[in-house]
Amino acid sequence: MGFFTRARKISGWLAFRLQQQGVSFACVRRPPSALPVLEAVGYATGPRPSHAELLERLAKEQHASRYECSNLLAADEYQILSVDAPNVAPDELKTAIRWRLKDMLDYRVDDATVDVLDIPVDKNAPARNHQMYAIAARNQMIEDRQKLFETARVPLRVIDIPEMAQRNIAALLEPEARGLAMLSFSDEGGLLTITHEGELFLSRRIDVSADQLADDSPDARQRAYDRVTLELQRSLDHFDRQYHYVTMSSLMLAPLATSASELRDYLSSNLYLPVEHVALDKILDLSAVPALRSASEQQRHFLTIGAALRHEEKAL
């Protein structure tokens, strides 16, 4: 199973995200000519239950067999690396990418499951400096994850990554013909993505967690804000140089339980882009999940919802 198994059009995805204390899940259905419907979202935990037990319980409660199911990996379970696109036939692409990853991984490339994600090039410029993202994870972790879901009787179809989950949400917010930056925070840190026409162009991890942004100390929050701002400035400058043909529209800030307005105001005063909050109720039908109106719940499930928004991938 690859990370980006090519999806046909389907009615809905049920996404699971394994976390330290439990399992986050979200189910999205896409009716024709209407907003995607968030049918269910939640967090399952208990007195020292295993992930297998929680997944098995959720599979029954959420009728997992009715949906396409995916698992969203944690940040430390894979690597996403930018590489030069090899000049080879499509059926030789993954082999060539593996060769390029040989000296970039801290384990044998033969022990890795590898998938690739193309970064579009300027259609009006000569084809040069074509970049791709290579996604790699240890074979053993992938095998263990498949066995875990099999044991829990969850029909796992896709293993996904947070960058693509965030891309799915950004795709619903992108202005026509313009790029969009999106920034989210969790206990794993910050995730910045830049998308254009539904494609992921840039991804950066920021070593600042949601808890650091909500620190009681104003000085500690200020230091966190400064680190985030510096990384954003560097990333946006790099993007402007690398992809000058993409005009950026704004930076969208994903829901935060606390300090959302304070962080937005700080970023607005230090970046050239307008900074706006992501309003999930503008892009999703949330009528079935009233509890998701709170910012803390939106923050907790943001990436899981993004994974459940998976729709259709283009084959490379």
**288 inside domain:** no
pLDDT at position 241 is: 93
Same domain for 183 and 241? yes
Counts for the chain of helices (H) and strands (E), in that order? 9, 13
Domain contains 213: yes
* Domain stops at, among 90, 112, 138: 138
Count: domains in the chain = 2
296 occurs within a structural domain: no
Distances in whole angstroms, Cα of residue 98 to Cα of each of 79, 92, 141: 13, 10, 18
Q: Are residues 210 and 266 in the same domain?
A: yes
Question: Over the stretch 188-244, which tens digit does the pLDDT of each residue have?
Answer: 999 999 999 999 999 999 999 999 999 999 999 999 999 999 999 999 999 999 999
Query: Are residues 134 and 205 part of one domain?
Result: no
Mean pLDDT, residues 258-277 taken together: 96
Q: Is residue 115 within 8 Å of residue 127, measured between CB atoms?
A: no
Q: Are 57 and 44 in contact, with CB atoms under 8 Å apart?
A: yes
Q: Which two tokens stand for residue 157?
A: 């179809």
pLDDT at 49: 73
- Looking at residue 2, its pLDDT comes to 57
- Residues 267, 221 share a domain: yes
- Nearest Cα to Cα of residue 191 among 174, 215, 169: 169
pLDDT digits 0-9 by tens, 37-92: 999 999 999 777 789 999 999 999 999 999 999 999 999 999 999 999 998 888 88
Q: pLDDT tens digits for 88-134?
A: 888 889 899 999 999 999 999 999 999 999 998 887 766 667 889 99
Whether residue 195 sits in one domain with residue 118: no
pTM of the model as a whole: 0.92
Q: In the prediction, which pLDDT does 311 show?
A: 82
- Looking at residues 158-171, what average pLDDT do you find? 97
Q: Which residue from 279, 278, 265, 256 is spatially nearest to 187, judged by alpha carbons? A: 256
Express as a percent the part of the chain with pLDDT over 70: 94
Q: What is the pLDDT of residue 167?
A: 98
Check whether 8 has a pLDDT greater than 50: no
Q: Give a yes or no: residue 20 inside a domain.
A: no
Residues 272 and 207 reside in one and the same domain: yes
Residue 302 burial (CB count, 10 A): 24
* pLDDT surpasses 60 at 6: no
Residues 192 and 247 in one domain: yes
Mean pLDDT of 23-36: 94
Domain boundary among 138, 165, 189: 138
Same domain, 181 and 105: no
CA 268 to mean position of chain CA atoms = 24
What is the pLDDT, as a whole number, of residue 127?
60
Is the domain of 115 the same as that of 188? no
Domain containing 130: what range? 75-138
198 and 113, same structural domain? no
Q: Can you give the CATH number for the domain in which 228 is found?
A: 3.30.420.40
Residue 151 belongs to a domain: no
pLDDT at 239: 96
Same domain, 184 and 267: yes
- Please report whether residue 69 resides in a domain: no
pLDDT tens for residues 235-252? 999 999 999 999 999 999
Cβ count within 10 A of residue 47? 4
Clarify whether residues 182 and 264 are in a common domain.
yes
Tell me whether residue 29 is in a domain. no
Q: Which pLDDT tens digit goes with each residue over 150-164?
A: 999 999 999 999 999
Strand 156-160 and strand 68-72: the pairing is parallel
Is residue 67 assigned to a domain?
A: no
CATH of the domain at 79: 3.30.420.380
Mean of per-residue pLDDT scores for the chain? 92
